[in-house]
Structures are given as structure tokens and as C-alpha cells.
Amino acid sequence: MITTTVSDFRKDIKTYLDKVVKNFETLIINRGKDSGIVVMSLEEYNALMATNHELSSRKNELRLDSAIEKLKSGNSFSKDLINN
């Protein structure tokens, strides 16, 4: 995570945005006491929204937790794909 002020961000906006995109960094721009802005790449945002969607229902959350536990305990299986 990178933190900066509005003034510093304005001075070097391209460098900050390049770091966010290339290094998957999150940029926090402070705007005073308890105020700020978060900048993240579109790819990072889309991943966050997909995760949020997957966990939006309790049923999905439980299903994913169960799958993770099976994988961790070695209780999973694999299948070969059929090539035509």
C-alpha cells in the first residue's frame, strides 16, 4: 500500500498510477483528518467485486468454505480432460 498527499499526487500522478497498475499496489491519498481516497487498478477492483459477489450469499460462502476445507485436508480429486 502506498500513501501520499493530494499535493504530492498532483506533482507525480503518472508515477503513482504506474505503480498502482504495474505492481498491483493500492494508493491511499490523504485529504485531511479521517478523509481520503483509494486508488486501485481496474483488475484489482474487478477481482474485489467478484469476491464480494461470491460471498454475498451465505449459501455460496458455506459452499466455498467447504471446498477449501476439502482441498486442505487432501479430500479432493482430479480428472483428466477429454481431448477430441
Q: What is the pLDDT of residues 3-56, one digit of tens each?
A: 999 999 999 999 999 999 999 899 999 998 889 999 999 999 999 999 888 888
Is the pTM for the entire model greater than 0.95?
no
Our measurement of the distance from residue 9's CA atom to the centroid of its chain's CA atoms, rounded to an integer in Å, reads: 22
Domain boundaries, the chain: 1-40, 41-74
Q: Cell numbers 504530492 correspond to what residue?
A: 8
To which H or E segment does residue 5 belong?
strand 2-5
Coil/strand/helix, residue 4: strand
- Its CATH architecture, for the domain 1-40, is 3-Layer(aba) Sandwich (3.40)
H helices present in 1-84, as ranges: 6-11, 13-22, 42-54, 58-72
- Would you state the pLDDT for residue 10? 96
